[in-house]
Structure 1
Amino acid sequence: MKRSNAAKFAAVAAAGVLALTACDNAADNGGGDGGGDGEVSSDLKVGLAYDVGGRGDRSFNDSAYRGLEQAAEELGVETNDFEPADGEAESAKEERLATMAEEGYDVIIAVGFAYDASVQAVATEYPEVDFAIVDSEIEDIDNVTSLVFAEEQASFLAGAAAALTTEEDHVGFVGGVETPLIRKFEAGYVAGVAHVDEDIEVEINYLSQPPDFAGFNDPAQGREAAQAQYDRGADVIYHAAGASGNGILQSAVDNDFTFIGVDSDQYENAEEEQKPYVLTSAIKQVDVSVFEFIRSATEGDVEAGIKRFDLSEGGVDYTQTNEEAIAPVQDELDELKQQIIDGEIEVPSQP
């Protein structure tokens, strides 16, 4: 492992700037040095750095954690996960990844496009470490794999579901931070609504603007935005707002409107009193991509470059766990899904 910048980051490590919450999955989840019920044993040490909101967002980060947890249990790898600090600078992300590399992690996974610059800076300093980044496209670095998704396709199905179930012909979208990635969610959702009925009104709100990423971790603000959309007439609201979506879901309960989740199955993760309000979720299999990347590392078969997951291979989809709610529109959604897969519907990735 390359140590050329050891001095650069030694003070950081010694001072404990990594003082984030490191959760040892090996201890918590029966992973670690190949013990427990793992199917195989591996000497790999895997670290995962969360995006804004961290574990417990019931969405993007939790999906990544499930993949890490599965790797600990089934592959016997040693794993740790690391929480970001609220409002942290870009330098903190770079320091986190570099310190992990210095501490001997063989595989480092950065969750979220906010790590793009940090991954590019650190990966070139540690060519023997396999890096992955979720939701950002990095090419031409031999030890970086980009795990990206066709979010717009799943969002199109979310929009169609909203349009098929609204009683007011008025629906909403709440984005966490107005970035190109989240605008992909918006674009797909609006297109899905219009495909069903172009006369349906769509409310659109973002909780923050770059470089302020607080919109991904502000449930109170999410709740306020959803309340405002409801007050203007929206009776189905879809979000791509990370942990802020927890506030949007609570607003759905308080006001009796329909909620559409994102990234993870938010029906499964909801409290019992919240479940009836969750129509579906536009999911992307971050957990599967994380697990498969780690498995490829245990087999010495990591491929750098961009790996894209879409509807055709199950990388994105809509959920059907709230069977009673989704059943009346499931046939229509499945038909639209197949049309996207067959290329009959081309979903836009920009609004």
Structure 2
Amino acid sequence: MSQQFSRFHMSRRQWLASAAALAVAPGAMVLGGCASAQGAAAGAAAGSQPGGLGMVGGLFAGSRSDKGFMEAGWRGLEKARDVLGVQLRFIDGIAPQQDKLAAALAQLAEQGAPLVIAHGGQNNQAAVEVARRFPGTRFVVTQGAVQAANLSSYDVLQEESAYLAGVLAALTTRTGVVGHMSGIRVPPGLKGRAAYAAGVRDTDPKVRLLTNFSGDQDDNALSHRIAQAQIAAGADVIFTMLNSGRDGVTRACREKKVRQIGNVIDWTAVDPQVFVASAWADVGIGAFLAVKDMKETGAPRPGIYKIGLQDPAAVRLVMGRDVPASVRARVDQARAEIAAGLLKVPEHYEGPEFSA
């Protein structure tokens, strides 16, 4: 667990004085002081005025350098630091378990951050619990599905680009079998799987889908074994919604000359030999916009704010250079229909599961 903080006791006045004296480093720092809930409420009240936001807390249920979902969220907070001039405190490396996530969120609130951002839908229930305990603090869950008086969700609709990934997979498979791999069963991952499956089915119902949730986003040995099993079962295109564990799939694809579709970032630029496409979803935009809204208006947007294919900077399918023009045209047709509201992307999957 890579929690970056030092434990010490000081008054709120002393802490504020020391924080003001610190230059904002290229990385972020977590100060594990023991400010009271009353002090946290006072800090949140100060941050509720437009332009008054100075400190933002961030929680990551995984590594900030996972080359995937967690790192994208961290980049959003880094952008907020660099563009909006806020300071950051963060905790990362937390296991995606509600009690541990709640404890970390409470620590950030107790330290006086007016805004605390929990990155990822795995924080939904923990955020609901902690928001009740700290009514003076604003909480945001990125890729979340929860809301309350002091709790909002910013949801980049990565499932829309996942649907397009399914369209492409169905059009490019030569074996008639495609794969999907993810780790933990959180709402964004489940919706992404449902969308990908629908994209495959709507494009060619004869294509067979192998879908697996391994239980771990970061275990490369596990993901390599499952990818090998899917390839042995005929899959020649595999869509991965993993974090650090994506490397194991990439190794299996390279060994067997199978193509992969990535997500979150542009994997076709990272490894064009393996990745035929990537379901781009800049989930860091949610973190950046939450800070921007808080700084400009004194509060994040209420409820659940959704960002989809209408904003190509946030959501799109990036395709490799070797994707034929006819396939690109079919994918673009589906994109236009989703963006216009003519095609609704399903959020639930009821088909068979693949077990390795």
1:70-219 mapped onto 2 (5 Å cutoff): 70-85=79-94, 87=95, 89-139=97-147, 141-208=148-215, 215-219=216-220
C-alpha spacing 1:175/1:72, structure 2 compared with 1 (3 Å): same
Aligned partners of 2:315 and 2:144: how far apart in 1?
A: 16
AA of the residue aligned to 2:90:
D
C-alpha displacement at 1:323, in angstroms? 2.9
Structure 1 residue 114, shift from structure 2 partner? 2.0
Deviation at 1:150, TM superposition (A): 3.0
**Which residue of structure 2 lines up, in the alignment, with residue 333 of structure 1?**
331
Matched, 1:276 2:273: yes
What percent identity do the matched residue pairs reach? 27
Q: 1:292 aligns with which of 275, 289, 293?
A: 289
Q: Distance in 1 between matches of 2:267 and 2:23?
A: 23
On the 8 A contact 2:68/2:265 being kept in 1, the answer is yes
- Alpha-carbon contact 2:237-2:260 (below 8 Å) kept: yes
Structure 1 contact 43–78 (Cα < 8 Å) conserved: no
Q: Which runs of 5+ in 2 are unaligned?
A: 1-5, 10-21, 30-50, 350-356
Cross-structure match for 2:260: 259
Deviation, structure 1 residue 159: 0.6
Instruction: Describe the SS at the equivalent of 1:27.
Output: coil
Secondary structure at 1:168 match in 2: coil
SS of match in other structure, 1:303: coil
In the alignment, which residue of structure 1 is the partner of 2:316?
Answer: 317
TM-score (norm 2): 0.79
Q: 1:307 to 1:29 in 2, by over 3 A?
A: same
Note if contact 2:178-2:208 (Cα within 8 Å) is conserved in structure 1.
Answer: yes
Unpaired runs of 5+ residues, structure 1, are 1-11, 16-23, 32-40, 209-214
Quick one: distance in 2 between partners of 1:78 and 1:287? 17
Distance 1:42 1:70, change over 3 A: farther
- The 1-side partners of 2:187 and 2:26 are apart by 36
Give the secondary structure class of the aligned counterpart of 2:261: strand
Q: Which runs of 4+ in 1 moved over 6 A?
A: 12-15
How many angstroms apart in 1 are the aligned matches of 2:105 and 2:139? 10
The CA distance in 2 between the partners of 1:44 and 1:143, in whole Å, is 18
Q: Is the 8 A contact 1:42 1:76 kept in 2?
A: no
Matched, 1:231 2:232: yes
Q: Specify the alignment match of 2:38 in structure 1.
A: none
Q: Aligned equivalents of 1:290 and 1:57: distance in 2?
A: 17
Q: What letter matches 2:277 in structure 1?
A: T
Relative to structure 1, the CA distance from residue 160 to residue 154 in structure 2 (aligned partners, 3 Å threshold; closer, same or farther) is: same
CA 82–223 in structure 1, closer or farther in 2 if over 3 Å, else same: same
Moved more, 124-133 or 72-81: 124-133
Q: State the 1:337 CA deviation.
A: 0.6
CA drift at 1:26: 2.9
How far is the alpha carbon of 1:284 from its aligned partner? Answer: 2.0
**TM-score, scaled relative to structure 1:** 0.80
**CA RMSD of the aligned region, Å?**
2.6
Instruction: Answer yes or no: is the 8 Å Cα contact 2:166–2:199 preserved in 1.
Output: yes
The aligned length equals 309
1:27-78 CA-to-partner distances (Å, cap 9, x unmatched) read 12599xxxxxxxxx97511121112x32122221111111111111111111
Deviation, 1:149, is 3.5
